[in-house]
């Protein structure tokens, strides 16, 4: 059936961002199309339970469709819903959270509130990563991944999720590398030098970091590069070089050198300041991060006598913001660099009632420090994979009064929520917050209370 052209009515949007239709009793996942549309599509893969297809032509447009503003939209892997009205994006994101809770978590009594939309629907990102790759026809590209491809990078001219200045820096770096004949990394055979350009621009302070990630080795004509890029862009407050020789396609470094400035940008959340280094995790939508944390704290209702355990604390932002309202906070994080920055951020903000433990969550929960802590509240903000099974088991055995769970993945959250409710916790409400307009991603905050 592969290659066959068919007409399909689009009925829904899937959690992956793909459109959904039906053909001969089977579900069809479409690369393109919006609910309410009739499309001409070509079957690209056939499975026993579903088919995959690409849209060739839209035969009847949906009222939900709007023109995409980005010239890269048709093939960029960043935005998948830029052609869907923003209010409809929020409707489908809420539906995804509800569906996950019901199908995966078995939770039908939990109320999912309407999604809190982003104040900024464009230019909201404070961080973007851009990849180098050699081109099959010769030369190289520097930009973003083509949709669904790890090995195809297109040349970026302008991205509407970040500031124009960021796009201008990317174009300048591409021209510089071409002019100087620098070797570019090949993601297929893992050879070459230039790998990534990561740019952070703080929303509140306007601090600007350019982080160039390369293969192992000193940066060629380093002083010349520093002089030329800082002259071309005087807005740059710090310039960093990270070396990474690992095959994994991530824009982090093993050896870091500060080329210019202090090596970090400073961002503000509420009345607190946070230093963010090149390899630090920090939420990429500054304005909505405040909304997400405010929602979580409102659900949590902290008290002055509460003792708080902040798991997966990263660089400490949640714990530091919560510390003035509770007795004390202990943060736990596996990444050594993140712990160093967390301690630095606590010092910058004068937060005395917070301490940090370097190690895995599952190991800390069975440690003497955890058993003697008598924590009332546990905060979890895990990676997309959710809680490790051992960490979940020990968390349930730990038995805190309340668990504030912040998640970036509704499916793994629903799985974990089902286990917590089965263990005796109640989850009355979930509050989704849209951190990433025009993508299928959604964050949420919830509080589990022990019966």
Say how far apart CA 115 and CA 436 lie, in whole Å. 12
Cβ pair 332, 338 in contact under 8 A: no
Instruction: Please name the residues in contact with 356: beta carbons below 8 A apart, sequence gap of 6 or more.
Output: 313, 316, 330, 331, 332, 333, 339, 342, 343, 346
Q: Angle CA(274)–CA(277)–CA(279) in degrees, nearest 5? A: 130
Collapsed DSSP state (helix, strand, coil) of residue 174: helix
Q: Is 408 among the residues known to form the active site?
A: yes
> Which one is catalytic: 70, 76, 100, 408?
408
Say how far apart CA 376 and CA 219 lie, in whole Å. 50
Instruction: Please name the residues in contact with 372: beta carbons below 8 A apart, sequence gap of 6 or more.
Output: none
Helix axes 389-398, 410-422, angle to 10 degrees: 40
| Residue 331 CA: distances (Å) to CA of 46, 194, 353, 415 | 47, 36, 11, 24
> Can you say whether the dihedral through the CA atoms of 245, 248, 250, 253 is positive or negative?
negative
| DSSP string for residues in 275-290 | EEETT----S-HHHHH
Instruction: Please name the residues in contact with 177: beta carbons below 8 A apart, sequence gap of 6 or more.
Output: 132, 140, 142, 184, 194
Cβ pair 71, 158 in contact under 8 A: yes
Cβ pair 106, 417 in contact under 8 A: no
What positions carry a catalytic annotation? 408
């Amino acid at each position: 059936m592969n290659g066959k052209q068919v007409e399909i009515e689009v009925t829904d949007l899937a959690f992956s961002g793909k459109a959904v239709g039906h053909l001969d009793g089977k579900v069809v996942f479409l690369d393109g199309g919006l609910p309410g549309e009739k499309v001409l599509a070509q079957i690209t893969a056939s499975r026993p339970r579903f088919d995959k297809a690409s849209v060739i032509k839209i035969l009847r447009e949906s009222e939900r469709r709007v023109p995409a503003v980005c010239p890269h939209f048709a093939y960029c892997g960043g935005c998948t819903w830029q052609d869907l009205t923003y209010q409809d994006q929020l409707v489908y994101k809420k539906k995804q959270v509800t569906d996950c809770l019901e199908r995966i978590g078995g939770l039908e009594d939990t109320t999912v509130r309407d999604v809190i939309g982003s104040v900024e629907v464009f230019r909201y990102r404070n961080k973007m990563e851009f990849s180098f790759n050699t081109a099959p026809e010769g030369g190289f590209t520097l930009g973003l991944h083509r949709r669904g491809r790890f090995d195809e990078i297109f040349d970026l001219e302008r991205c509407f999720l970040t500031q124009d200045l960021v796009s201008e820096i990317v174009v300048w770096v591409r021209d510089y590398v071409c002019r100087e004949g620098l070797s570019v990394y090949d993601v297929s055979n893992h050879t070459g030098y230039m790998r990534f350009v990561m740019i952070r621009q703080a929303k509140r302070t306007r601090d600007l970091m350019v982080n160039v990630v390369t293969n192992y080795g000193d940066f060629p004509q380093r002083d010349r590069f520093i002089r030329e890029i800082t002259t071309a862009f005087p807005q740059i407050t710090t310039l960093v070089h990270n070396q990474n020789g690992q095959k994994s396609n991530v824009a982090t470094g093993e050896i870091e050198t500060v080329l210019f400035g202090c090596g970090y940008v400073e961002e503000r959340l509420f009345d607190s300041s946070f230093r963010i280094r090149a390899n630090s995790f920090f939420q990429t939508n500054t304005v909505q991060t405040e909304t997400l944390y405010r929602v979580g704290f409102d659900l949590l209702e902290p008290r002055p006598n509460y003792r708080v355990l902040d798991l997966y604390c990263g660089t400490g932002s949640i714990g530091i913001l919560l510390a003035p309202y509770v007795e004390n906070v202990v943060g736990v994080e596996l990444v050594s660099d993140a712990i160093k920055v967390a301690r630095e951020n606590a010092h910058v903000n004068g937060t005395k009632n917070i301490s940090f433990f370097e190690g895995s969550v599952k190991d800390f929960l069975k440690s003497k420090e955890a058993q003697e802590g008598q924590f009332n509240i546990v905060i979890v903000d895990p990676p997309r994979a959710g809680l490790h099974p051992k960490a979940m088991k020990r968390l349930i055995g730990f038995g805190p009064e309340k668990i504030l769970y912040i998640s970036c993945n509704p499916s793994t959250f629903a799985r974990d929520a089902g286990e917590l409710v089965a263990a005796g916790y109640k989850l009355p409400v979930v509050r989704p917050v849209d951190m990433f307009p025009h993508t299928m991603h959604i964050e949420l905050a919830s509080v589990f209370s022990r019966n």
